[in-house]
Structure formats: C-alpha cells, structure tokens
Amino acid sequence: MLAETAPEAVAQTHVAIGAKAASKEDAIRQVGQLLVASGAADPAYVESMLAREAAANTFLGSAVAIPHGMKEDRAMVKHDAIAVLQLRGGVEWNPGQGARLVVGIAANSDSHIAILRRLTRLIQDEEKLETLISTDDAQAIVRALESDAPEPARIAATDLAQTAEWTVDYPSGLHARPGSAWVDTAKAQKARLRVRHGDDSADPRSLISLLQLGLKQGDTVIFSAEGEGARSALDALVKTARNLSAREKRDAERAEEKAATPIRGWKPTGNPEMITGVAASPGLAIGTVHVLAAEELDVPDVPVDLVTGGAQLNDALSQTRAHMKALIDDTARRLGAGDAAIFKAQADLLDDTDLITLTCQLMVEGHGVAWSWHNAVERVAGQLSALGNPVLAARAADLHDVGRRVLAEIDPALSTGSLADMPGEPTILVASDLSPSDTATLDTGRVAGIATALGGPTSHSAILARTLGLPSVVAGGARLLALAAGTTAIVDGDSGRVWIDPSADDLASARAWIADLAQKRAAEEAERGQPAITTDGMRIEVAANVNRPDQVPFAVAQGGEGVGLMRTEFLFLEAGETPDEDDQYAIYRAMIDALEGRPLIVRALDIGGDKQVPHLDLPEEENPFLGVRGARLLLRRPDLLDPQLRALYRAAKEGGDVKIMFPMITSAWELIRLRARCEEIRAELDAPQIPVGIMIEVPAAAVQARSLARHANFFSIGTNDLTQYALAIDRQNPELAGEADSLHPAVLNLIALCVEGAKEHGCWVGVCGGIAGDPFGAALLTGLGVAELSMTPRDIPAVKARLRGAGMDEMKALAARALAAAGADEVRALDTGAGE
C-alpha cells in the first residue's frame, strides 16, 4: 500500500505500509527505490544512500533509521522528498538495534532539518511511534512527519482516566531526591502517567518536568493514569510519594536541629550574613571567594551533521553516566546512601527527556553538539532558578554540574580548568562539589578553605580536605554558589558555618583565633607523637588508614605510627585504568620509603560490593555485597592477584616493614590458597617472607577465628563490613544508616570471639574500620583486647588522648558491660567521657 502527499508540506512524503525487508541493505534499497520511483532522485541515489550508510550509521534511535545520500551526491536529488518504509516485523539495523520505521531522505535544501526535528520529537513519544508502526493509515504517518505544530512546553493540564489525589507533606516540597524516586517508580510502569497541580501538569518520568511544578508542602496534586495497568501504576506512584514522607520529615527535623545548634568556637561580634553547612574539616580560614561553578563557559558553536552529533551526544551521556555510577558507588561507600542519592538525582538528569529533546532540537536547528547541550542546560536551569524556590535553585546547580561533566566528555577542552585560574591571594574555594581529584590537586598555598554546596562530611573530598588540613564546610546549599567572586568570607570548619563579608573587627578577631589555634595545634602535635600508653602501662599501636605516599607525612605528623590499612583498590578506582605491576611496585615502594621504617599493611584489592571499578567490566550481580568481592574475586582473577603480589614482594625485597592483608575472607581454604600463591611468587622473586594477615569482615570469619588464626599472622577487623553483614544492613541504605552502628553488642561479641580465637595461635588483632577512630569506640576495642587501631589520620590525636587517659582494667570492665548490653544505644550510654 502506497500513499503520497505534497500539500503545503516542506517535502513530499511517500509511505509503504506493512513493508518487509530481509536486511538493512534491502530496506535501504526499497526506501531508496520509493524516492526514485516518485521522481525525487536519480536511480544512482540508492547507491549513494548505501555508501552513506557504510560511512556513517543513520540509526536515530527508538526503532527509527534515517538513511540518506552522500553530501556530494546532492545533485542527484531532483526535489526534496521523504519515503517511509513501515516495517512492522522490523529489520536489524545494527547488532541489537532493530528499525521499524525507515525514513529515507532526499534533500538538497535545509528542509531535511525540519523533518529531523519532527523525527527527534517523534522518537521521544513512544506511544505515538508505536501507533505509527502499527497503523494501516499511511496518512497518519504523513501527518506525523509533515505537521510542524509546536509541542506544548507542558502537557495540557487535564487528568488521565484514573486519578488519585495527594497533598504534599514533604517539608521541603518536592525536591530532587524524592522526585528521583517518583521518576524511578513512574519509569517502571507501562501506563501513561501524569501529575497535575492546579493548571500545571508534568510527566512523572521526567525529573525536570516534576521539579518545574514547584510543589511545596500543602500543595494538592492529582496523579492520573491511563492504559495498561493504569490502576496499579497509579497506586505504585502514590505509594512511593507517601512512603517518602517519613524520611522527608525526619531529614527536615535534622536540618532544623543542625541550624539551631549553638555555635562553638569562634563567633563574630558583628552580624555578618551566615550560611550553615556541615563541618567537614576543622579550623578557621579567611579568604576571598572563588566560585568554581559560577564561571561562564564560552562554548563554541561548531555544527556537525545530525547523525554524528547524535552519536557524540549519546557517547558523552553514556560516559558521564558511567562516571556518575562510579561517583555514586564511591559516595555511598564513604558518605552513605543518603548523600549518594544527591548524585543519583544528578545522574537521573542525564536521562531527562525534556533536556535531551531540547538539545536535539537545537542540534537539528543546525547548532553544534556542545553548544546545544550547554544551551539546553542553561535554559532548563534558568527556568528552575526562576521559580524562586531555593530547593529548585539547588537543582539548577546540580544541572549545571552534570551539564559540565557532559560537556567535558563532548570536548575535553571544555572541562572546567578553572582551578588553575585561582587568584594568588588566600582563597575560599566555593564549588557545587569537589571531586576527590580536584581536592587532591589543590594548591594549599593558595586555597585557605573550602565551602561546597553539596557533599557530606565523610565524602572522599572531605576526607582529603582533612588530610590537607584545609578548613572545610560541605552541604552549604545553593546560596554559596551565588556568592560574588572576590567577596571576603570566613570558613569555620568546626561549626560548619560560612560567614560572608565580615567586618574589620570580626576579621581581626578571626585572625587572632587562627593564630591561637595554630599555637595549640603545635602543642598537640608534640603530644601526638607520644605513644598511646594506658595509665597502667599498656601500649596500643595507633596507625593511619592512608592510600597514597604523599599522605604519609601528614599521617605521621598526626601521630600515626604506621599505616594499618592501605586500600589498594583506590589505585584502580582513581586511575581509570588498571595499573600494571611496575606502576604498583612504584607506589608500594614510595609508601615504604615515605614511612621511613614504620610498618605498612597493604590490603590486597577489595573490589566488588560497593567498590565497582567500571574499567574492569565485571559481571553485574544481583547482590554484589554477597557476590564475588574481595578475596573471592582475587581467587578467580589471577590477572589481578599476581601482578599485585609480584609488585608487593618486589617492593618488600628492597626493605621496609610490609605486611599483606586479604579482604573478605570467609573460610580457611581461601586463605590457604592465597598464602600458597604468595609463597610461589615470593620464591620466584627470591623475596623475603612477609607477614600475611586477613581482614575479619564476615561473621563466619569472626566465629571461626580460631581455625583461621592457624594460617594468619594477624587479623584486622573491618568493622564497616562486619557491621553490615552481622546486622544484615546494607551499608549503603540511607533508611537504615542510623541503625548500622558498629557498637551494636552483636558486632562487639563477634570482635570478642575473634580476639579469643586469635590468642590461641599468637595472632594479633587490630581494627581498621571506622569505629577505631571514635575515641569511645577505641577505648571499648582496647578493653576487648584489640592491640592495634588504624584510622583516618585526623582522628589519631583524640584517640591517643583517650587511651592515654584510661587504664586497662576500666576499659575491660567497660567492654564487659558493652558485651552484655541489649542494643547499640545502651552501649553508647556507657560513654561517660574521657577515662572510663
């Protein structure tokens, strides 16, 4: 069946309904033939279309392909036309990509841009596309491709067939975090869904569309649905919305409590503007504001053909998605899932149909990819900011952030190199968030302090800021980003405040405070160097968790007596590629040298679970925490284990006090096999014997400590994972974060079992999980018989001070009470301050 039309349209459209094609080439030939037969092109145009396809893929997405001729063959086009092959059964266009509407284009003017614009709209509208693929009405296809009616910016404010009403009870309104959960639920439904507030309605599959409703607490919304499974889709969406209420309320309460916390430490006497965030790295810093996110980007407009542009955009989005995934994993690991959700919401923006459609539309208008993306981001972010809602303004900041990540992927020259443009004077670096690599490369000679809009106090960048000794405040919100460059600010990393434009008097008093603090720190530094000897003469080793050689001097200055945990997977996570044996050797050697004879425990790769390394392409697992992680992966991947062991033994051969530690050991046979491999490699290299220990992170290992201790030289308890596995609480679950307490008596009893089992074989026990750096936790662990504690360097002085102020007997009595407690709260209630 063939239809033809050429009224006031820009081009003629010829449609073959219910066509069949044996292959892509056959489809191109057929559609080309339609163009030829209609007199739109010379017969040779078909070959030109095939040549074009060989040079560039014309698959547009969503079952639509747009074969067209080579640019240089434009003369073969007699008049503009398009031909459509409706292939209900589809034809494979690329491996895994089937085309069901093949739109052949013959155009020697700009009219094809209009066609492409319609097509890009069409492929965003799955429902309409499906209709066109199955319709018997050729005119329906003609109309769809020839009507240029502008899409409404918003869906008309009517409801679909089934409705449900709900009143927003989120204290901060609908912001990105809950919005992103709505989007997830909506995307899982087949039915059409809509959310309406007054005269505005939104597509709940689009985060931006939802946020643009500007929903506040007390607003009534109508959810509506239509089509397959409408009722259950509606129920699911309402349930998601309702279920988030409790958490939203709790978060708002916490935020209020935080803002109401009396300020400790330095206080201004004047009344400067204050931005409250979260203390991330202690100390006071004065400087001139340099806002990273506010830098204007000059994005050149370099048009490319649409298919290349589309592919470029697609690649950039996929790569950014992969990086965001790594960032989410990393953030969840250090900060918890609550903070990782910020990045999850950011990553969702990458799939936002409004944003992508707008970008495509700018591209089909003839603009370059980077320019189109940048302008789409700016426009949407502008709309969000214009709503005057601070929560949405923060989302605009997120959008800018994500936008920049994508831009850097499209064209590395557009990555914001603005850290290099910092003014010479002491600077307060303000950013939406800083990546760990940004933070690690900061010039501490110029940056006095850091204030970020996002992030959390245990984020990798916050940990790095502490390592660098830079006062830092995180989660200060979007107001920070609006600060004018050059404004004077004081960052108070103890109270989590940023003071804007302080008076001369306040500046003078802050300077005096900083000088005072520097003196006190100097005095403490002398103390930190002292060993942690209890009042009754027992010495506890206090070491640092450090991953890189350049962090060692600081760890030592803090009183670290060695490195108790070097997490080597960070070499893989940060490098973006697998470091080879020589690279690893150089790093281990540099660590040993930096430690100048102090002990170093290198943990073999702990990949899997929450530490996903994208470039290793490991299979996806349903439950990665219960999957092939740590030692289990090492046993299956000699290509990862062997170079690491060889690098370690080569480094050890040249001297130093090095130990190897294997993560996630569950059963003795794993350790026996790993030890055997260590021995083979050691013998091959004629390297010295070095102690081999294991992490106790799995309850099975704690319970079987006695049999494991026969094969291990030492244990280091990973309380972060041990808590997760003992309490059956995913360490990334924000809902349960408050309950995942390593001081839970169940965890403490496992630690006690471990110490007891180890004793029989003369195996010493350390702890390198987070609780070791908590002064009260450290006292308890010492009471349980732990001999070594390894922690973030900044935590060392307080832990040492606590241990020096207590006696073994009191700490043992404390431990006994804790073991008998009913819950973590009861254990924490035993904390009566310094000395037990």
Helix (H) or strand (E) holding 164: strand 162-167
Judged by beta carbon distances under 5 to 8 A according to partner kind, the member of ligand PEP, Mg ion, none in contact with residue 268 is: none
Rank residues 178 and 769 by Cβ distance to ligand PEP and give the closer one. 769
Given a contact cutoff of 8 angstroms between Cβ atoms, the answer to whether 550 and 793 are in contact is: no
Distances (CA, A) of 767 to 163, 722, 801: 55, 11, 18
- Residue 567 contact among Mg ion, ligand PEP, none, beta carbon within 5 to 8 Å by kind: ligand PEP
Least separation in angstroms between residue 175's CB and ligand PEP is: 30
Among 277, 560, 656, 769, binds ligand PEP (CB under 6 A): 769
> What's the min distance (Å) between Cβ of 321 and Mg ion?
26
| H helix intervals, 529-599 | 552-557, 569-575, 581-595
Contacted by 224, from Mg ion, ligand PEP, none: CB < 5 to 8 Å by type = none
Single out the catalytic residue among 68, 197, 290, 323: 68
CB 495 within 8 A of CB 264: yes
* 187 residue type, one letter: K
Rounded to a whole number of angstroms, the minimum distance from the CB of residue 721 to Mg ion is 4
Least Å from the CB of residue 672 to ligand PEP: 22
Considering the complex, state which of residue 398 and residue 697 has its C-beta at the smaller distance from ligand PEP: 697
**Alpha helix ranges (H) inside 455-503:** 460-468, 478-481
Rg, the chain, Cα only = 31
Nearer to Mg ion, 510 or 605 (CB): 605
Name residues whose C-beta falls within 8 Å of residue 520's C-beta, 6 or more positions apart in sequence: none
CA-wise closest residue to 787 among 760, 764, 757, 759: 764
694 is a contact residue toward ligand PEP (CB under 6 A): no
Per DSSP, the three-state class of 385 is helix
The single-letter DSSP state of residue 220 is: E
Token output for 12: 């003629």
Contact call for residue 336 and ligand PEP (CB under 6 A): no
> What DSSP character marks residue 774?
S
- Catalytic site residue 79? no
Pick between residue 407 and residue 747 the one whose CB is nearest to Mg ion. Answer: 747
754 is catalytic: no
Q: How far is the CB of 698 from Mg ion (least distance, A)?
A: 10
Select from 420, 446, 450, 421 the least CA-distant residue to 436: 450
718 binds Mg ion (CB under 5 A): yes
Residue carrying the six token digits 């291990």: 712
- Residue that is written with structure tokens 């073994």 in the block: 808
- Give the range of 396-404, 486-494, 619-627, 713-721 binding ligand PEP by CB under 6 A: 713-721
Q: Could you say which residues in the range 551-590 bind Mg ion, by CB under 5 A?
A: none
| Cα end-to-end distance, the chain, whole Å | 90
By C-alpha distance, which of 114, 119, 117, 138 is closest to 129?
A: 119
Size of the site for Mg ion (CB under 5 A): 3
Query: For residue 238, what is the enclosing H or E element?
Result: helix 230-243
Q: In this chain, which of 696, 768, 803, 814 binds ligand PEP, going by CB under 6 A? A: 768
Contact 145/103 with Cβ under 8 angstroms?
A: yes
Q: Which is nearer to Mg ion, 395 or 611 (CB)?
A: 611
> Rounded to the nearest whole angstrom, what is the least distance from the CB of residue 638 to Mg ion in the complex?
22
Q: How far is the CB of 360 from ligand PEP (least distance, A)?
A: 42
**Per the structure block, which two tokens stand in for 624?**
């990665």
**Using CB under 6 A, which of the segments 361-369, 484-492, 507-515, 712-720 binds ligand PEP?**
712-720
User: Does residue 718 belong to the site contacting ligand PEP (CB under 6 A)?
Assistant: yes
- List the 220-226 sheet strands across, edge first: 162-167, 220-226, 192-197, 200-202
193 CB-side CA count, 13 A = 30
DSSP state of 548: S
When the beta carbons of 398 and 606 are compared against ligand PEP, the nearer one is 606
Q: How far apart are CA 473 and CA 497, in angstroms?
A: 7
Q: What is the number of alpha carbons within 13 Å of residue 142 lying toward its C-beta?
A: 21
Stretch that binds ligand PEP, among 12-20, 60-68, 476-484, 718-726 (CB under 6 A): 718-726
Decide if 744 is catalytic. no
The interface region with ligand PEP, picked from 343-351, 406-414, 468-476, 719-727 by CB under 6 A, is 719-727
Q: Which of 42, 80, 506, 721 binds ligand PEP (CB under 6 A)?
A: 721
Q: Which span (313-321, 405-413, 644-652, 715-723) binds Mg ion, by CB under 5 A? A: 715-723
Nearer Cβ to ligand PEP, position 385 or 719? 719
Token pair belonging to 309: 């542009």
69, two tokens: 């001729």
For the bound state, the minimum distance from the C-beta of residue 567 to ligand PEP, rounded and expressed in Å, comes to: 5
Query: CA dist 717 to 383, 540, 629, Å?
Result: 51, 15, 17
Instruction: Residue 769: name its binding partner from Mg ion, ligand PEP, none (Cβ under 5 to 8 Å by kind).
Output: ligand PEP
Is 719 one of the binding residues for ligand PEP (CB under 6 A)? yes
Strand ranges in 232-299 using DSSP code E only, listed in sequence order = 273-276, 278-281, 284-291
- Residue 70 φ/ψ region, left for φ over 0, alpha for ψ in the -120 to 50 degree band, beta for the rest: beta
Contact 789, 543 (CB under 8 A): yes
Q: Which of 721, 741, 774, 836 binds Mg ion (CB under 5 A)?
A: 721
Which of Mg ion, ligand PEP, none interacts with 719 (beta carbon under 5 to 8 A by kind)?
A: ligand PEP
Give yes or no for residue 609 binding Mg ion (CB under 5 A).
Answer: no
User: What is the contact mask toward Mg ion in residues 675 to 714, using x (rule: CB under 5 A)?
Assistant: ----------------------x-----------------
**Residues constituting the chain:** 836
Q: Give 203 or 697: the residue with its C-beta nearer to Mg ion.
A: 697
Which of 632, 639, 580, 582 is CA-nearest to residue 607? 632
For residue 752, the cross-strand partners are none
720 binds ligand PEP (CB under 6 A): yes
360 catalytic, yes or no? no
Of 360, 678, 763, 768, which is the active-site residue? 768
Q: Which of 175, 323, 367, 400 is catalytic?
A: 175
Strands, E, within 494-604: which ranges? Answer: 497-500, 532-533, 539-545, 563-567, 599-603
Q: Which of 112, 290, 374, 460 is catalytic?
A: 460
Mask: binding to ligand PEP, 643-682, rule CB under 6 A, as x and -?
----------------------------------------
User: Taking CB under 6 A as the rule, does residue 432 contact ligand PEP?
Assistant: no
548 binds ligand PEP (CB under 6 A): no
Partner whose footprint covers residue 472, from Mg ion, ligand PEP, none (CB < 5 to 8 Å by kind):
none
Q: Which residues are catalytic?
A: 68, 175, 460, 768
Question: Which spans of this chain sit near Mg ion (rule: CB under 5 A)?
Answer: 697, 718, 721
Question: Which spans of this chain sit near ligand PEP (rule: CB under 6 A)?
Answer: 565, 567, 606, 697, 718-721, 768-769
